[in-house]
Amino acid sequence: MINRKAEKLGRERSVIREIFEYGQKRKSEIGAEHVYDFSLGNPSVSPPPSVDREIVRLIEDGPSTSLHGYTSASGAPETRRAIAEYLTRTHGFSVSGDSIYVTVGAAAALTSALGALVTKGEEVIVLAPYFPEYKVFIEKSGGRAVEVPSCPDFQPNIEAIKEAITPRTAAIIVNSPNNPSGAVITRERLEQLASVLSSAEAELGKSIYLIADEPYRELVYDGAEVPFIPSIYRDTVVCYSFSKSLSLPGERIGYVLVSPSIPECDSVFAAVAGAARSLGYVCAPSLMQRILPKVLGEVSDIAVYDRNRRLLLSELSSYGFECVPPSGAFYLFLKSPVPDANEFAMRARDFELLLVPSDSFGCPGYVRISYCVETEEIKRALPAFSALAKSYGLKG
Amino acid sequence: MINRKAEKLGRERSVIREIFEYGQKRKSEIGAEHVYDFSLGNPSVSPPPSVDREIVRLIEDGPSTSLHGYTSASGAPETRRAIAEYLTRTHGFSVSGDSIYVTVGAAAALTSALGALVTKGEEVIVLAPYFPEYKVFIEKSGGRAVEVPSCPDFQPNIEAIKEAITPRTAAIIVNSPNNPSGAVITRERLEQLASVLSSAEAELGKSIYLIADEPYRELVYDGAEVPFIPSIYRDTVVCYSFSKSLSLPGERIGYVLVSPSIPECDSVFAAVAGAARSLGYVCAPSLMQRILPKVLGEVSDIAVYDRNRRLLLSELSSYGFECVPPSGAFYLFLKSPVPDANEFAMRARDFELLLVPSDSFGCPGYVRISYCVETEEIKRALPAFSALAKSYGLKG
C-alpha cells in the first residue's frame, strides 16, 4: 500500500521551494535580472581552490578502485583521524577518530543522531525559529518536537526551556549560527543552558542530549565567537556539514561527533551507526571523504557574504525596516511591518522581491532574506526594498 | 534515551564484516599472501577510464559552485533524462525522467522504496537466499519480512510465493543477478511470478509491488539474459546502483525507477520522495550525478570476474565440491559437505580460506565465495581448497 504519510511529505513542497519555483517562472516571464530572489540558502561563493585541486591530484595518483571504493560505514580511518585532530587543535578539546562518524551531509547526521537518541514517544525540544526539516526528522525517529520560542534577541529562552523539559525529554537541538535568524548563541547563554540541562538530568535521573547542528559554524562576522559546545555541556552530539564552509552542498559530506565526555559514549556511537545503517547509509561519498584531510580548516571566501550583510542591514534599516542584526550564517531576519508575514511576502512579490515568510520556521511575523547572492543583485534590489517600505508608510 | 535497538544494530557486526576483520588480523600475523580472503563483495576492477576523465573535465570546465551545488532532491534534470533515455533505448520500454529518482546508492533506493510502499504492519516477501540488510530495511519501514525459500536451482519457487501472499502483503523483493547465489532469474520464471502477483492483486483488490533490486544487472556471463521487469510486471519499482557496473561503490550513486505503468505512479513517486526526505536524503552526490550522462551504458571490464568464475567452478567441482553454477554477480555459492555451513567455514579457516556461511542469507548449508579478487589470488588458494575437500573425504 502506498504510504500516504510519505506521499504527503513528498508532495508538500516546502514554502522555500515553492517561492524558488515561482521565481524561476517569473524570471522566464520578465527576465532574470528583474527578479530579486532571496529565497534559497545555496552558497554563491566557490569552494576553496584546494578542493578541486585535491580531487584531480587523487585521481592522478590512483588507483581508482580504492579512491571510489567502499570505506568503513563510519568513514575512512584517516578521514576520521584528520577531523578529530582538527577539532582537538582548534578547540583545545581532545577528540579521537573513534568519536567521529562521517555522514552524507548534515541532514544524515541529524537523522542518524535522532535515530540514536530518541525512543518512540519521547520529546525533542527545538528552539524557534528553527530549520523546518527538524520536525520531519524528529517525527521519523518516533519522537515529538516541542517548540520553545527564543527571546526577542533570538538567544535561547532559558526559563522557557526549563519549563519545557519533562521526563520524556530525550534531546534539545541547538542551531548556532542560526538558520533563519543569523543569531549566534553567546557563551554565557550556552553556559546557562548547560546548567539547566545538567540540573534536569540530575533531577530526572536520565540523560538529556544536546544536538548541536552546526553547518554555519565558520560563517560568522565581526569576530563573533561560536563556542565549542562539548567543552560546555557534557552530553553533546555535534552534527556538522562541510556544505557551507567548503561550498559543496551537493556533495553531501559531514559528520557526527559523539562527545567522548558522554558517560555511555560507546553506546551512543554504536546507536548512531545502527541508525545510519537502518536508514540505508552505507558510507559517505568516498572521493569527498578522501579530500578532507587536505582541506580541513579551509573556508570559502566569505567576504562577499559579509559585504552583503552590511549593505542589506544598513540600507534596510535606513528604509525603516526592523532587522535582527545577524552575526552568522547568510540570512537576514527582517520583521514584517504587518503581523502577517505571508501577506508581507506576497506584497514583496509585487516589487519582484522573493522573501521567505517565517511561519514555517515556527516564528511568525518575520521574513528570511538569504544574502548568499552576488552583491550586484542586492544593489539592483535596493530600490524595490525602498518602494516596498514606502508602500507600508515607512521612510523608504 | 539511547535507542537500544539502534545500538544493537550498530554493535552487531555483520557476519561478513566479522570474517573480513578476522582476515585483516590473520594477514598481519602470517602475511597477506597466505590468507585467501573471499569474504567481501568489493569490486576489484577499475571504473571505466571515462569516469575519472569526466570528473576532471567537469572540474576544468567549471564553475565549481554549480558542479558541487545542490541538485533537486530527485536529481539533476539532465541526469534523470539521460537515465530515462538509456533505459528506453536499452529495453525498448518508454520511460521519462519524471519516473527516475536519483539516490545515494542502492541501499538508499531500497529504504526510500520500502518507505514509500510499506505501511506499518504490512509484509514484504523476500526470496531466500537474500541480502541480509533487506530485513533491517523492511523492519525500519514498519513492515515484516516473510521469507520464501527458492527452488534447488535458486529460481523463485512460484507455488511457495503464491502461498505466502496474504492481504497484508505490500511488496516482494526480487534480486537478480542474485547475491549470494549468482543465479539469474529466467524470463519464464519472471512471467510466472508476474502472473501469480497479478492474480493476487485482482483477488485481494490491492497492489502488490515488485521491488527489483538490480545492482548486478550488467554482471552476467555466457550471454545470460536479465529481463527488464517493468515490461513483464506492471507494478514494478526498480532499485539500481552504479556501484558494481561502474566500480564506484564508495561514491553512493543509484536510482529508483517508478514504472510509468503503475496506475498510481505519481503517488508512488511522491511517496519515494517523501520517504527519502524523512530519512535525511537531500540529493545524491552532485559530482557523480553530473558524470552520469557521459558514462551511462559503460561497464567496468568484467572479463576478470568471468575468468575467476570459470576457474573456481571447474576446479572446485573437480575437487568434489557441489557448486551452484553462477550466471551473474561475482559470487559462487558452494554447498557445504556437512549440514552446518558455519562448521565448514570454520574448518576452511584452518586452511586460511575465508568463506561466508550462508545462514545470514536465510539459506543454511552453503558458503558464499566472492570472486571479485585478482585471479592470482584464486590460483594461490586452489591447493587450500583441495586440502579442505580432502579433509572431508572428497577427492580434493
At residue B349, the pLDDT reads 96
Kindly report, residue by residue over B128-154, the tens digit of the pLDDT.
999 999 999 999 999 999 999 998 899
Q: Which of A11, A122, A281 sits opposite B1 (nearest CB)?
A: A122
Q: Which of B10, B46, B69 sits opposite A273 (nearest CB)?
A: B10
* pLDDT tier, A238 (very low <50, low <70, confident <90, very high otherwise): very high
Q: Could you identify the residue written with the cell 551545488?
A: B69
Q: Which residues in chain B touch residue A211, judged by CB atoms under 8 angstroms apart? A: none
At residue A257, the pLDDT reads 98
Average pLDDT over chain A reads 95
Residue ranges in chain B modelled with pLDDT below 50: none
First to last CA, chain B: 55
Residue A172 CA, distance from chain mean position: 15
Interface test with A, best of B279, B283, B330 (most A CBs within 10 A): B279
Residue of B nearest to A58 (CA): B52
To the nearest whole angstrom, how far is the Cα of A60 from the nearest Cα of chain B?
A: 9
This model of the complex carries an ipTM of 0.95
Kindly report, residue by residue over B58-95, the tens digit of the pLDDT.
999 988 888 999 999 999 999 999 999 999 999 999 99
Contact pairs from chain A to chain B, CB under 8 Å: 266
Cα distance between residue A106 and residue A86, in whole Å: 18
CB pairs under 8 A, 24+ apart, for B16-20?
B16/B40, B16/B356, B16/B360, B19/B345, B19/B354, B19/B355, B19/B356, B20/B354
Kindly report, residue by residue over A64-87, the tens digit of the pLDDT.
888 999 999 999 999 999 999 999
Q: Which residues in chain A touch residue B43, judged by CB atoms under 8 angstroms apart? A: 65, 69
Pairing of strands B123-128, B169-174: parallel
Measured in residues, chain A has a length of 396
Contact B111 A280 (CB under 8 A): yes
State whether residue B368 is helix, strand or coil: strand
Residue A146 has pLDDT above 90, yes or no: yes
Residue of B nearest to A287 (CA): B251
At residue A214, the pLDDT reads 98
Q: Which of A3, A46, A269 sits opposite B116 (nearest CB)?
A: A3
